[in-house]
A and B are shown apart, each in its own frame.
Chain A
Amino acid sequence: MKKFLSILLTLASAGLAAGAIYLMAAAPAEPPRDWPAHMSVQQHALVIAPIDHSYRVAAYLITWAIQLGYLGWLAMKWRPAKQG
């Protein structure tokens, strides 16, 4: 049970971290630095909104990847009270 939980948490952690990296890598391209010459402020906001969203979700996923990864490591070290 302990081993299963530990493996499950480690896999979840790795999956979340991979998801975060994928989200940032696959985010739409950023508009060029001279974007005011090509688009309005509203158009720029529409272009960057999905990029910001991807990065925000990635940050949340990485937070959970770290926390669950640590919990998985703790689960591996855990010994029931009777054995302790």
Chain B
Amino acid sequence: MSALALTARGRAGASQWLGAALVAALVGAAMLSLVWTPYPPGAIDVPHKLLSPSPAHWLGTDDLGRDVASEILAGARVSILVGVIAVGIGVAFGVALGLVAAAAKGLVEDAIMKLCDFTFAFPALLSAIMLTATYGPGVVNAIIAIGVYNVPIFAKLTRATANGVLAREFTLAARAAGRGPLAIAFDHVLPNIAPALIVQATIQFAVAILAEAALSYLGLGAQPPEASWGRMLSDAQGWMYVAPRLAVFPGLAVALSVLGLNLLGDGLRDALDPRLKARG
């Protein structure tokens, strides 16, 4: 192995560990906020508003005297909740639809894929706004909107990779052993496409966090007093000149989480792709 390849590989390794560390920090923050935050999240303390960072308030306080560090910890919870459920909806329905499409072929496959294209054609944020406008703003509706957007992504990925697996001889051999299409889809196809799905799930998780922040920023996601990074950004807007840090901290939290998930996704792709591994 050449020195160049070695350094390139070492760097790739470092970035995936950085990604894993950032994701661990995100998960850690959310878990920590369940049992402990410096101040109760959402607790208003007007006399101490707009304080600079200090030992008492590590990241300062906002315009209502809420402790920014506590809000950020609690905001991680919402981000993860949205990510897990929205990606979960996408995986559950998308993978099922994709597998059915690949197994059924013909008219059913065409119909499912056309439906996915139809859903895809609407800008995600726009459909989320439509949904929350109709059913009212809130975290639950934001989750549903982001989840719906994930369904066609996973359906398309599942169908494409499943068709690749179904073209391989062992699925024919499984049919020759008398197995039915459903059993083949779950026993033979799913494990073989799992790596691609895991990588995509990591990336969609990052997209979901961004989407939640955007929706909350627009006032369509988390509602006060619920802590959310997007809502914090929105609140910070009016104080940009007085206390820009109010926007910086939640912005950093969003950016680092998304960066971490993307790096982790890249690392997982490299680790799970046998072709890349063989080359190394």
Partners in one complex: no
User: Could you tell me which B residues sit within 8 Å of A by CB distance?
Assistant: none
User: Could you tell me which A residues sit within 8 Å of B by CB distance?
Assistant: none
